[in-house]
Amino acid sequence: MSSSGVVGRVSRSGKPAVVAHRGSSREAPEHTLAAYELALAQGADGLECDVRMTSDHQLVCVHDRTVDRTSDGTGVVSEMSLAQLREFDFGSWHPEGKPAQVLTLRELLSLTLDWRRPVRLFIETKHPVRYGSLVEQTILETLQEFGVATPPSADHSRAVIISFSSAGVWRIRRNAPMLPTILLGETSRVLRGSAATAVGATGIGPSIDTLRLHPELVDRAAAAGRVTYCWTVDELADVELCAELGVRWVATNRPAQVRDWLVGV
């Protein structure tokens, strides 16, 4: 698969495309509708979310295993139903936040697909988790409901599945081979090629710390027909590095600022 497989029609020519990491999460509470609406208004090319499964098998956008850090509640996401999570305020903890309910993957998909321009949704699965492979199965079922599980080509896909779990990436590739996938990693050893090849990932996702130490990862990935998605890129020097190396997607907590910086790159 060519390195353009994950780029599609939503990036600007010659520069990294900007992915809003958990929404515009510097300016609004992460994973809330407000954070994603702000990111879209700021011109983000893609949105990133983490998904976890509730006790009644609903997919919600929450990064942590528990709700303690990002809500006024306490407890483990997988041990609570969606109705129970709806009782918590997921917005007021942030300095710029207002009361907000937990966001479901379905709600975020609706927002993304209904937006006035093409935007890609990067869905990160968390492992190990209580429900294992049911997470990927439910994601694919949800994408099927929205008509985006089987794109005609990766170029036209509106969803990308990303994960630190090679097994999670493989489950997606096996059941939905046209969906782009990115294997995330915090070390160059994980991302040098063999792991991504084994699971059929169409891209690699190093942290910015890893990329600074191993800039050769981008060329190695490109030589294997893979794109590079780098996280979390919030500083000007790092944006310039990603642009110079040819990183295709940069995930950032501050999409408006990164877009402004890229104008001068």
Catalytic residue (one of 21, 31, 94, 214): 21
Query: Which residue(s) pair with 18 in the sheet?
Result: 250
Q: Is 156 a catalytic residue?
A: no
The backbone torsions φ and ψ at residue 50, rounded to the nearest 5 degrees and listed phi first, read -100, 140
Assigned token pair, 1: 């698969």
- 158 Cβ contact list (under 8 Å, min separation 6): 112, 113, 118, 119, 120, 121, 148, 151
Burial of 63 (0-12, 13-18, 19+ CB in 10 A): middle
Query: Which residue(s) pair with 21 in the sheet?
Result: 48
Q: Is 21 a catalytic residue?
A: yes
C-alpha distance from residue 191 to each of 25, 187, 204 (Å): 27, 7, 6
Assigned token pair, 219: 């060329």
Q: Are the CB atoms for 43 and 259 separated by under 8 Å?
A: yes
Query: Which residue(s) pair with 159 in the sheet?
Result: 121
Catalytic residue (one of 57, 63, 127, 214): 63
Helix/strand/coil for 182? strand
Residue 165 amino acid letter: S
Residues known to be catalytic? 21, 63
